[in-house]
């Protein structure tokens, strides 16, 4: 996994919408709102760039959550919010290692979805 300080100075970025894994260096835009909770005011978009430290699936809800390390702070973000406006990632030096991480993430996701379906609808026949 890369540290934020080890980021390539001339990175090559590719689309990673829907398939971000731990170890990816990602960048995306996030909407910023001001005002109150009852009357939010759209202020614009914030550009965020960071390294994905970990991801998890909530067994109860099936929600995918990522933890990112940015230069300012560590940030937790739901997968649906990360992918909302598109996300790009840097190409790894060893893409086969990334494929292993992606396969492991997909297995955990499949398990979480199956567990949730069993709790909601009973065992599959």
Whether 2 maps to a domain, the answer reads no
Whether 3 maps to a domain, the answer reads no
Would you state the pLDDT for residue 36? 95
Domain of residue 35, residue span: 8-119
Non-local (6+) Cβ contacts of 118 within 8 A are 124
Whether 97 maps to a domain, the answer reads yes
Whether 106 maps to a domain, the answer reads yes
Would you state the pLDDT for residue 76? 94
Q: Read off the tokens for 93.
A: 């030096």
Non-local (6+) Cβ contacts of 112 within 8 A are 57, 58, 59, 62
Whether 21 maps to a domain, the answer reads yes
> Going residue by residue through the chain (125 aa), what tens digit of pLDDT does each one get?
555 555 556 678 999 888 899 999 999 999 999 999 999 999 999 999 999 999 887 766 668 899 999 999 999 999 899 989 899 999 988 888 888 888 888 887 777 777 777 777 777 66
Would you state the pLDDT for residue 71? 93
Would you state the pLDDT for residue 51? 97
10 secondary structure, DSSP code: S
CA distance 41 to 56: 31
């Amino acid at each position: 996994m890369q540290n934020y300080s080890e980021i390539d100075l001339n990175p090559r970025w590719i689309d990673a919408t829907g398939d971000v894994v731990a170890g990816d260096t990602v960048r995306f835009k996030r909407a910023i709102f001001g005002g109150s909770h009852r009357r939010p005011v759209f202020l614009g978009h914030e550009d965020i760039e960071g390294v994905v430290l970990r991801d998890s699936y909530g067994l109860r809800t099936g929600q995918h959550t990522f933890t990112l390390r940015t230069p300012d702070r560590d940030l937790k973000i739901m997968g649906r919010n990360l992918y909302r406006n598109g996300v790009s990632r840097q190409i790894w030096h060893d893409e086969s290692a990334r494929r292993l991480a992606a396969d492991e993430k997909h297995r955990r996701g499949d398990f979480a979805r199956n567990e949730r379906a069993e709790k909601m609808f009973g065992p599959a026949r």
